[in-house]
Amino acid sequence: MLLRKVRGCLLIGASWAMAWTVVGALRALSQLIPAVTPDFWGSAFPVIARVAGGWGVAGGLSGVAFAVTLMIAARGRPFRELSVVRMAALGAVGTVVCWGALLLSDGDFVENLAPSIRALVMLGTLGAVSAAATLVLARRQPVSEQISAPAT
């Protein structure tokens, strides 16, 4: 039972990491577009890869935090009984709690309050969208193959 929970957390974390890597690459690319020069791709690729990798790590950690939040809140209910709005809220809560704890442990949270809050809002929104997408994709699976949310 514990291995099933751990596997579920890791799979959600991995899928979120892949999705957030794409988001990070697109965000880095959008910020670099004004600087297009003839040798743009040679100099831009390492920057895009580094930013995308950071977003991938953030997505993986957020996905695991969401999965733990889901285990606590869903208490074994199957995916077909969970609403998209509730899943989005759980995704936002899991992501904000994860990154809020990291920001608070940094010590500069209060000094950089406005950027920290902007970052939490952006990450929370991305967490909500990712959680809703996770539910929509899980519901596309035939009912006989769906796995219930692990009971705590």
Residue with tokens 């965000």: 27
Which one-letter DSSP state was computed for residue 55? Answer: H
Residue with tokens 């967490």: 127
- Give residue-wise pLDDT tens across range 8-64: 899 999 999 999 999 999 988 888 777 666 676 677 788 889 999 999 999 999 999
The token pair that represents 9 in the structure block? 């957390």
In percent, how much of the chain has pLDDT > 90?
42
In angstroms, the CA 95 to CA 107 distance is 19
Between 140 and 37, name the one with better pLDDT.
140
In angstroms, the CA 23 to CA 15 distance is 13
Residue partners of 59: CB distance under 8 A and separation at least 6 = 13, 16, 17, 18, 19, 20, 21, 23, 126, 130
The token pair that represents 102 in the structure block? 């990291």
Contact assessment for residue 13 and residue 63, using Cβ atoms and an 8 Å cutoff: yes
- Give residue-wise pLDDT tens across range 80-125: 788 999 999 999 999 999 888 887 787 666 677 788 888 899 999 9
**Per-domain residue ranges for the chain?**
2-145
pTM of the model: 0.80
In angstroms, the CA 123 to CA 6 distance is 23
